[in-house]
Structure 1
């Protein structure tokens, strides 16, 4: 009986494929996704004593939730650009992990507020950045609750419609990140730029252009970089008293630092370069076989 139960549960384990067999790729990704959480709890238990014991962990879990959420959106473009079908099996695991970090983020906030539920509810309702974050969390909960095969079969086409909520949910989570970061929004800008790049990939695919085309990938990198620089400029110009022009000009001074717009450009060009390498390798193999 124990063996029967184990055989039924095996396909549900994050490190196995649909047949219940161990997948090294899934196992490695699963362990990598656990590392930030382990480090957060290690810091809580053994780290330095702080005036606000949950503050550091609160910010860390929030940032990781957004990072992993953006990573989940990269799965489909990676499959299409690099023709790597196996990676699609990671999408659900990565998305559910993003939800787990977001729930942990909320739990740490509640612990910081001493679990006083009326106060927590009023803070979420009255503080705009908390409202934004909570709405994004509710959307992620809806996606996580319907991410299983049975829900997919039961909901049919409605499942696809519902799961498009991941895009506005990610945008809200990034906005929440900006509002939390306040003055230094480099991390939030970088993640937003990568989100823009991923959305451009999806737009390209939706218009049935060849996503693996090197020119199209390069153009997407340039456009995403420009939009990232514009987003950063707009934030500093509208939401802070800092000189937005100086921040924008810093994008052109690589000796000073690599700004988010530059990093997004490098990420997009790296994707194009890898795709070019794979194309050349495939062409070379075909010539060797024909020789």
Structure 2
């Protein structure tokens, strides 16, 4: 009897250990990773703040509207962040980033699902109405297609599915780029007249795609000069996207919006912020390259 109890306890402890080792804040060796834990808490913080505000904050006539937009905003932000992991690893030779790429990708799916649940709640949990709205409203259709794509990527993002799919896994996860395009399109359409945040995210997405194009062209991505060129290209893409949106989708003079990119006296336009982000990466990489030289000179002195 005592032996059976010991075996039961041992098996239970083994199962608990297996579950704990699978937690996102644990590394491959089953040890606590401070870096992964910090990333996990950062990813969780917006949802915690959003839900706390929703349930314990001030009462509004449309209580779910702000939460719906906030959850969608964070989904797009974390989607862009997930796409930044591979270029950042290549640029700064920081291999530890790969360990949090899956976590960030799964968080995107979490925020998209939260976005959908909050929308259903705003419609008083009437599923027939939600289905009809998604079918009839173009921007909702696009968003739902992006959600289905993210769900497919999320379901297949675990080790067992990676082994089962083999080479097809890489082909499937290449869909993240058109899915990101759909998500950004949905972001633009629901933003209506003020698309500053959408332009910023689209510009950063363009910058990240330029990094990937540079790798395909076999350019030295870690070169500050290449990074500066990508920064200029990303800023130009953001300005072009903003101009095209205002020219085609609104009655606001697109030329005036475009010229505002060159007037930084009052505010910085999204294209300028994209350029600053890209140039910051180039400067940090340059400092990273110069630091060993400075250290060696200081030692020699």
Q: Is the counterpart of residue 66 in structure 1 residue 76 in structure 2?
A: yes
Q: Is the counterpart of residue 47 in structure 1 residue 57 in structure 2?
A: yes
2:178 to 168, 190, 193: 168
Task: Give, in whole Å, the separation in 1 of the partners of 2:23 and 2:217.
Answer: 36
* Contiguous gaps of at least 5 residues in structure 2: 1-10
* Shift of residue 288, structure 1, vs aligned partner: 5.9
Give the count of matched residue pairs.
291
Secondary structure at the counterpart of residue 277 of structure 1: helix
* Shift of residue 3, structure 1, vs aligned partner: 2.0
Q: What corresponds to 1:181 in structure 2?
A: 191
Task: Give, in whole Å, the separation in 1 of the partners of 2:129 and 2:121.
Answer: 12
* Shift of residue 256, structure 1, vs aligned partner: 1.5
Q: What corresponds to 1:277 in structure 2?
A: 287
| Cα RMSD after superposing both structures | 1.2
Q: What corresponds to 1:134 in structure 2?
A: 144
Calculate the TM-score normalised by the size of structure 1: 0.97
Task: Give, in whole Å, the separation in 2 of the partners of 1:116 and 1:246.
Answer: 43
2:43 to 33, 52, 56: 33
Secondary structure at the counterpart of residue 115 of structure 1: coil
* Contiguous gaps of at least 5 residues in structure 1: none
* Shift of residue 163, structure 1, vs aligned partner: 0.3
2:167 to 157, 165, 170: 157
Q: Is the counterpart of residue 233 in structure 1 residue 243 in structure 2?
A: yes
**What is the correspondence of 1:1-291 to structure 2 with a 5 Å cutoff?**
1-286=11-296
Residue deviations 1:123-162, cap 9 Å, x none?
A: 1111000000000000000000000011111100000000
Higher mean alpha-carbon deviation, 96-105 vs 246-255, is at 246-255
Give the number of the structure whose alpha-carbon radius of gyration is greater. Answer: 2
Task: Give, in whole Å, the separation in 1 of the partners of 2:61 and 2:191.
Answer: 20
- Tell me if the contact between 1:174 and 1:188 (Cα under 8 Å) persists in the aligned partners: yes
